[in-house]
Amino acid sequence: MLTRLFFQWSGTLSNNSLNTYAQNVANSWATNMGPNTNSNLSLIGVSANDLTTNTAPVGVWTGNKPGTAQTTVRSAPGVAFVIEKVIPRRQKGVHPRVYLPGMDIGGEVQQDANTWSSTYANTIVTAFQAFLTAISGSNGPTGATQFQHVNQSFYKGHTWSQDTNGNWHKHNTYASPLLQPDVVVGLLANLTLGSQRRRNHQGG
């Protein structure tokens, strides 16, 4: 399973600084999210990519950071805890989200068969916020300043066009510049058990 996080920053990065940063991300995940992740799942890789150009620096960490949650009831492979990201810009449709697989499951963390308990949801959101704090701001890669968590959109608005039959069609408009970051100003738990099934083919 692949999860992407985007950050906005100023400065100059290097392969070495991003390699170190990728290691820090893995360690921070193990510290903050590992205790809430089932032991049958592991973080096995982090890729830190500078998106400035197609030849910009890249950092990589590979290893094994297993979850450490002590539970006898494990979530199915397709179940995910969903966190919604709050951004200042209004947008139509689904808001940016992050899907977290391998969360504890069972009577102690669920309100019912389809709903997480609010207490458990607050625990996960708090842990994820601590993880983000540990990898952003002054904890970002060496060479980067004002390193903050953002949602990355490649579109901004839309246009309409009419076909030869007189029917109107809406087309998303690419942002200019292409990268259009929105600072994430908050995190909200979705109490309904989410599905990660569509993303399972992405990897471990």
| CB-based contact 117:110 (threshold 8 Å) | yes
Predicted pLDDT at 25: 97
Q: Where are the domains of the chain?
A: 6-202
Q: Other C-beta atoms within 10 Å of 38: how many?
A: 20
DSSP H helices, the chain, are 15-32, 118-135
Q: What are the pLDDT digits (tens) for 168-196?
A: 887 766 655 556 688 899 999 999 888 86
Look at residue 30 and give its three-state secondary structure: helix
Q: How many helices (H) and strands (E) does the chain have?
A: 2, 12
Give the torsion sign (CA, 29, 32, 34, 37).
negative
| Stretch 112-133: mean pLDDT | 91
In tens, the pLDDT along 17-38 reads 999 999 999 999 999 999 988 8
Place of tokens 């901004």: 156
Q: pTM for the full model?
A: 0.81
Q: Which helix (H) or strand (E) holds 46?
A: strand 42-49
d(CA 177, CA 166): 32
- Cα(170)–Cα(184) distance, rounded to whole angstroms? 27
pLDDT in tens, 150-169: 987 766 666 788 888 888 88
Tell me how far apart the alpha carbons of residues 204 and 49 are, in angstroms, rounded to a whole number.
19
For residue 134, pLDDT beyond 60 = yes
- Grouping H, G, I as helix, E, B as strand and the rest as coil, residue 92 is coil
> How far apart are alpha carbons 142 and 57 in whole angstroms?
13
- Under 8 Å between Cβ of 181 and 37: no
